[in-house]
Every structure is written in C-alpha cells, then in structure tokens.
Amino acid sequence: MISSSLRTVPIMMLATVLMPSVVLAQPHMPTARDRGVAVATDSPAAGAADERVVDLPLESGTHQRVLYVAPPHVQATIVMLPGGAGNVGVDRDGDIRHGDNFVVRTRALWVAKGYAVVIPDTVDQVNLRGLRSSSQYAQLVEALIGFARAQAAAPVFLLGTSQGSIAAMNGAAHARPGMLAGVVLTESVSRMGGSHETVFDADPGGVRVPALVVANHDDQCDVAPPEDAPRIAAAMTHSPDVHVLDVTGGVVASKKVCGSLTPHGYYGIEAQVVAAISGWLHAHR
C-alpha cells in the first residue's frame, strides 16, 4: 500500500581522486550486457534502450565507472546512489556483480517510464561508508550530475537509498543553482550506526530543490526507522517543496533487516514504489 503524507580510505586520498568537473575525453563505452534491461549497441535501434558503461577519467589517473541506461526519449535523468558500501561491481561489458540494491535492480522499471539512469560504481572499490557526507564526495556527485546533463537535454534528479541517501542529500545541498531538479531520499539512514554518518551530517539545510522522502512503515532497519521521515523532511529548511511519501509492504528474503531484499529495499513492492516516485518526479520536471 502506498499513501502520501508527506575497504575504507582516508578523506585526503579521496580528495585527489574526486574532481568537481569531469572531462569526458575518450571514455570507454563498450556495449553493455546485463539482466533486467534491453541490450543496445552504440547506435541503438528504435525503441531499444541505450545502455553503456562509461569510465570517467579523474585527475588522479583513475576512473569513475558508471552504468548509463536510457530510453529512446528521455523525460528526465536520475542519478542513482546505492546504499551499503556502494560497490556495485560494474564490469566493462555491463555485467553487475552486486545487483540487489533497490536503485540497481529497478533500472528497467525506470527506463520503461521514460527515465534515464546513471548508476555509479565506487572508485577502485573504495568502501563509501563514512565518506558520503564529505565535501569531496559532494564534488563527485556534482560531476555525476554534469555527466547526466551532458547525455540528455532533460532535468536531472538525485535518488539515494539507505546509506546512499546521505550522498543524495550531500549532493543536493551543494549542487550549483539550475543543475538539479530535485532529490529523492528513500529509507534514509537517520540514526548513527557503523558508517558513523547520517543524512543529518550531509547539510540538509543546504538543500534548495524540491525533495521527496520515502519511508516504508514495514522497514525494520534500526538505522533507518520510518518514523524519522518527518524529521528528515523538516531538516531541509530551505527546500521550496518537501514531501513525505509513506509506503507499506515488502518481502523478507534476507537475514539482514537492513539488506536490499527486505522491506528496507522495497523487495516485492518495487513496481508500486517506482510508480509512486515517478508521479512525484513527473510533477517536478
């Protein structure tokens, strides 16, 4: 049911890795092959999804790998920010080694609704726990927004889930004016846990774009209690439009209550949640 109410590295190392702007100079763009979405070549046929793996060159000489999937006609682009350690495991051919996360496994549903998605992997398999609220990571999110805007002349949204909501909040709080259409925070980490950071450490007062906070009544994750959703919304004091979306349901297929295959990750209710969020996105394009 859906209703409406509203391996870790030092920060200094990340500062040399993450750049506020990315030059797409001769990126690697092989044809992607992965479950869940249509596979396309560099010149996709009419009606097919454009799916590419892109290695964005960074100043340090390393690369930020992203999976980009887009329908023929893009209504908007969503930069997806996964939870956990953030390591999605995107291979050069588009295969994904860790595809259970909500924002990863639902990409076909978003594309079917006209949204392009940008799914970033971690740089050199860095564990992102404890780093997502940093100024350096805000710079990387800004670079991902810039990449998204370069792919399609369409509004760009951030969507984070669980630990990824910290990154989404941080990115939205530091995005330059006019770069971002809105931010979606799903099952957000709002209580201190092993990552030693929450969405409240990511400058919620700096968010100046419309925001949607999604909370599942049946989420049992102790660091992301659904009852904190109104408090998260209230912290975004400079957002022109903050809304809380309450949902219920989900299937437990994991021993970890904060795992992706539980109500925390909307397992079993993906289509309903995607449809509800899509409605909000449509109204804010």
Q: Which domains does the chain have, with CATH numbers?
A: 2-283 (3.40.50.1820)
Task: Please tell me which residue, 190 or 33, carries the higher pLDDT value.
Answer: 190
CA distance 180 to 274: 20
- By C-alpha distance, which of 31, 24, 3, 21 is closest to 217? 3
94 band by pLDDT with thresholds 50, 70 and 90: confident
Residue spans of beta strands (DSSP E) within 71-123: 76-81, 115-120
Phi and psi, residue 156, nearest 5°: -120, 135
CA distance 99 to 89: 8
Task: Give the type of residue at 163.
Answer: Q
- By C-alpha distance, which of 21, 272, 14 is closest to 141? 21
In this prediction, residue 47 carries a pLDDT of: 65
pLDDT in tens, 203-243: 999 999 999 999 999 999 999 999 999 999 999 999 999 99
Question: Which tokens belong to 120?
Answer: 């970033």
pLDDT in tens, 8-37: 233 333 333 333 333 333 333 333 333 343
98 band by pLDDT with thresholds 50, 70 and 90: confident
Please state the pTM of the whole predicted model.
0.84
